[in-house]
Amino acid sequence: MNPFEAARTKAHEALGNTVVKELNKKGYQAVYAPTREAALEEVLKLIPEGAVVGVPGTVTIREIGAMERLAERGCTIHHHWNPNLTPEERMQTLMDEYCSDYFLTSANAVTRDGMIVNIDGNGNRVSAMAWGRNILIFVIGINKVAGSLEEAISRARAATPPNVLRLSGSTPCIQTGHCVDCDSPSRVCRALLILERPTNGRRTHVIMVGESLGY
């Protein structure tokens, strides 16, 4: 590792552990993983073989290779990004994600003092993060850390243009490269969730990763 990479790694570790400390103070079960490979191993420690896992719209979970490894371990994975689903099957899969034993997702942003921020179009992700009888697991890249709640909301909105492009959408943000608080019928910023603490009775894990992941 060259000295530039070493410095970046140490800075990411310091920041990640700062956020982990704050998350644990707020009642989350949080750990730091230096790499995506280490993050995947943390996920596998939490999810047993054969479990039913819901994975909503999240690039991060796919980037760490969780889908493949969970399938190898005999887990049933419900995810509505499956391109082979009919509209009816997609709606059922959204419900299956919600009701899975584990809800495995990421976040659009997290503040240095441990508030987790997400913006959603359909509301399926944020509703499942806000309430559920299952175990909630966040995997969050170091690029998602923001200094304040205002910055976190701005950072969450910054994820919109690439997501719209991924969905072949046509909102104004794909022309400007940033959120313009549009009134487009295809707007995907419709529901904002700020988790100040884990919701009552919910076992919630957070794995902070020392790499940039997702949008």
CATH number for the domain running over 3-209: 3.40.50.10420
In one letter, which amino acid is 153?
Answer: I
- Closest to 120 measured CA to CA, from 171, 156, 67, 173: 156
| pLDDT over 90 at 75, yes or no | yes
Q: What is the pLDDT of residues 18-46, one digit of tens each?
A: 999 999 999 999 999 999 999 999 999 99
How confident is the model at residue 190, as a pLDDT? 86
**Tokens standing for residue 148:** 């304040």
The answer to whether residues 142 and 212 touch, using CB atoms and an 8 Å cutoff, is yes
